[in-house]
């Protein structure tokens, strides 16, 4: 049996686009003699469709896609994920299902059993779990069809679930496992995914064909990395990350094992490539082309600019240098040098005049009080007004350049430097930012050394440095990581040797800044715990405040 794994980039709600992509792949696979082609989870409608699933017309369009794929299944089997209506009165209205289509018939439909409801997942909001687990015979081989999370409770060891779907299918003695998946990216997940799938294969001693989606759906990025396992528990092949591809496998060869190919999993490389894909798909799937951002001469805006150019092309990226009365001359020169290195358009618009105009307008209500964060924020908001004016007039979407360290502790101005349509670096800590800069400069010096080496500063008051308001980033970031990613409480972090007053101060800053994060752009997710849909905190919570 020749099996094609189609690792494709789907678009939520773009039924025609998704369908045409799958029909093209099916025709190609058929021409190459494939017996079966495997697509991804909810491939007809894209994942995660969220509350679109509450529209019956949305489900009707998914059903129509299945009908057209069924018509195209002459001489080739098609495994594809799609939502289906639950015919039973009790429970949720829908199932998350995988179809096996062949010779214009629906040979089998298996519903997903394990419905993740954690982090970015919210499947139990929409779907009813399966209560039947059957295999299907196809061309002399018995197949266990599964959907994504259904392989994540090997031997009932996952405390989130009470059922192991594969254990319930094994009495029928399947010859292979096929899994259609939409497994989101984070920089640890590819390695974790391999180990979970390996445990399945070792437990059941049959080969596994695992097809994962690629592409970004706003903040959630899917990396692909589809996997083929031989019955001995070894990876036969791992497909590339972040690209669409179709690969073909002879079941008999996979059964024998021997071929071994895994992708490299270097953290910063993965983050870099994920951000590029996130930017491409955010713009491409929204029908947008042009980006704009403020280029300060610092490392964050420099990296954001490089990423935008790599994702969108230099002709579609525009930057604005907006020195304040407190900006150093080298900041402007560093920003100009980067723009010239990249060959992009830049404008220099000093904010001295609008800043002073605001101060004069507000003179009476500010009542002569000393310079403080008020004046700093006015400068940041002057910059946002300039950027948004160009955005509105010329259709350039504003990119936000705030990193995760700043975002976490509220070190940013609401409606100022926190403005933007998409947060590019909001899931990357400052200490990781430096590693990303080194990666970008590994072959040629694109980002000026001074942008990397100088002390971080917002340059909104004389001789300002980030460390005036925050601990040094090499101290701050580990504490943030323990609290945000690992969800450790203050005493647990203090017990690790960190200063108690510092820990409590930092965690308080994180919590009281929640209102800012609720009003800012979606953050491209690259870590196991990003700000946004996967981290739901109350704004008015008292914890640590």
CATH number at residue 406: 3.40.50.620
Instruction: Identify whether 499 is part of a domain.
Output: no
User: Is residue 32 domain-resident?
Assistant: yes
Q: What percent of the chain has pLDDT over 70?
A: 100
Strand order in the sheet with 245-250: 105-111, 94-102, 77-85, 36-38, 2-7, 245-250
Query: Is there a binding annotation on residue 297?
Result: yes
In the listed set 248, 264, 280, which residue is the last one of a domain according to the structure? 264
Per DSSP bridges, beta strands 94-102 and 77-85 are antiparallel
Please say whether the beta carbons of 63 and 23 come within 8 A: no
Mean pLDDT of all residues in 463-475 = 85
Q: Looking at residue 455, what is its pLDDT?
A: 83
Asked whether residue 282 falls in the same domain as residue 230, the answer is: no
19 and 151, same domain (yes or no): yes
Say which range, 86-90, 190-194, 321-325, has the weakest mean pLDDT: 86-90
User: Are 251 and 287 members of one domain?
Assistant: no
Average pLDDT over residues 431-435: 98
Q: What residues are labeled active site? A: 41, 112, 148
pLDDT at 414: 96
Q: For residues 71 and 50, is the Cβ–Cβ distance under 8 A? A: no
In a domain, 526, yes or no: no
Q: Is 493 part of a structural domain of the chain? A: no
Which of these three, 464, 498, 524, is where a domain ends? 464
CA–CA distance, 298 with 529 (Å, rounded to integer): 26
**429, 293: one domain:** yes
Q: Which domain, by its residues, includes 288?
A: 270-464
Residues 304 and 365 placed together within one structural domain of the fold: yes
Beta strands across the sheet bearing 345-348:
345-348, 317-321, 291-294, 397-400, 422-423
Number of domains in the chain: 2
**Do residues 284 and 137 both lie within one domain?**
no
- 297 and 369 share one domain: yes
Was 46 annotated as part of a binding site? no
Compute the distance between CA of residue 143 and CA of residue 170 in angstroms, rounded to an integer.
10
pLDDT band at 545 (very low <50, low <70, confident <90, very high): low
Same domain, 183 and 229: yes
Last residue of a domain, one of 202, 231, 264: 264
Do the annotations mark residue 541 as ligand-binding? no
Please tell me whether residues 31 and 56 are part of one structural domain.
Answer: yes
Cα distance between residue 213 and residue 216, in whole Å:
10
Residue 496 lies in a domain: no
Asked whether the predicted pLDDT for residue 235 surpasses 70, the reply is yes
Does residue 445 fall inside a structural domain?
Answer: yes
Q: Which of 29-38, 50-59, 157-166 shows the lowest per-residue confidence on average (mean pLDDT)?
A: 157-166
Q: What angle do CA 505, 510, 512 make, to 5 degrees?
A: 90
Please give the pLDDT value at position 162: 93
User: Is residue 214 part of an annotated ligand binding site?
Assistant: no
Do 435 and 399 lie in a common domain? yes
The position carrying tokens 């609401």 is: 414
Question: Are 365 and 451 members of one domain?
Answer: yes
For residue 401, say whether it is annotated as part of any ligand binding site: yes
* Residue 270 annotated as part of some ligand binding site: no
């Amino acid at each position: 049996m020749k099996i094609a794994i189609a690792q494709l980039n789907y678009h939520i709600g773009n039924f025609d686009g998704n369908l045409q992509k799958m029909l093209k792949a099916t025709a190609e696979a058929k021409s190459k003699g494939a017996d079966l082609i495997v697509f991804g989870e909810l491939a007809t409608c894209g994942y995660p469709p969220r509350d679109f699933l509450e529209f019956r017309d949305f489900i009707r369009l998914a059903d129509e896609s299945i009908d057209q794929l069924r018509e195209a299944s002459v001489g080739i089997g098609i495994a594809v994920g799609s939502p289906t209506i639950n015919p039973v009165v009790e429970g949720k209205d829908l199932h998350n299902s995988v179809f096996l289509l062949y010779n214009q018939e629906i040979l089998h439909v298996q519903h997903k059993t394990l419905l993740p409801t954690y982090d970015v997942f919210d499947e139990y909001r929409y779907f009813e779990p399966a209560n039947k687990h059957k295999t299907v015979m196809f061309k002399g081989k018995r197949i266990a069809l599964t959907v994504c999370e259904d392989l994540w409770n090997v031997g009932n060891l996952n405390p989130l679930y009470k059922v192991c779907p594969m254990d319930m299918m094994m009495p029928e003695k399947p010859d292979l496992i096929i899994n259609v998946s939409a497994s989101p990216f984070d920089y640890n997940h590819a390695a974790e995914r391999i180990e979970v799938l390996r445990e399945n294969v070792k437990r059941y001693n049959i080969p596994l064909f695992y097809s994962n989606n690629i592409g970004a759906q706003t903040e959630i990025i899917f990396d692909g990395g589809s996997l083929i396992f031989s019955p001995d528990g070894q990876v036969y092949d791992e497909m590339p990350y972040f690209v669409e591809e179709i690969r073909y496998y002879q079941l008999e060869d996979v059964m024998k094992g021997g071929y071994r190919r895994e992708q490299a999993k270097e953290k910063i490389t993965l983050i870099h490539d994920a951000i590029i894909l996130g930017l491409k798909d955010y713009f491409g799937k929204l029908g947008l082309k042009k980006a704009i951002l403020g280029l300060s001469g610092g490392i964050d805006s420099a990296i954001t600019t490089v990423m935008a150019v790599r994702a969108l092309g230099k002709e579609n990226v525009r930057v604005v240098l907006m020195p304040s009365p407190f900006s150093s001359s080298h900041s402007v020169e560093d920003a100009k040098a980067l723009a010239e290195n990249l060959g992009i358009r830049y404008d220099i618009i000093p904010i001295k005049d609008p800043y002073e105009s605001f101060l004069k307008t507000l003179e009476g209500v500010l009542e002569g009080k000393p310079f403080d964060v008020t004046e700093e924020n006015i400068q940041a908001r002057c910059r946002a007004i300039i950027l948004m004016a160009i955005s509105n007039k010329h259709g350039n979407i504003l990119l936000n350049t705030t990193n995760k360290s700043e975002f976490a502790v509220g070190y940013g101005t609401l409606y100022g430097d926190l403005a933007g349509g998409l947060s590019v670096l909001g899931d990357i800590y400052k200490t990781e930012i430096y590693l990303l800069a080194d990666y970008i400069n590994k072959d040629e010096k694109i980002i000026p050394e001074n942008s990397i080496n100088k002390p971080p500063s917002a340059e909104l008051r004389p001789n300002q440095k980030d460390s005036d308001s925050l601990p040094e980033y090499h101290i701050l970031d580990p504490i943030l990581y323990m609290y945000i990613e690992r969800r450790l409480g203050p005493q647990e972090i203090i017990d690790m040797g960190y200063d108690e007053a510092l820990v409590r101060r930092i965690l308080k800053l994180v919590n009281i800044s929640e209102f800012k994060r609720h009003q800012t752009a979606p953050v491209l997710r690259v870590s196991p715990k990003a700000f946004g849909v996967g981290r739901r905190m109350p704004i008015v919570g008292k914890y640590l405040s």
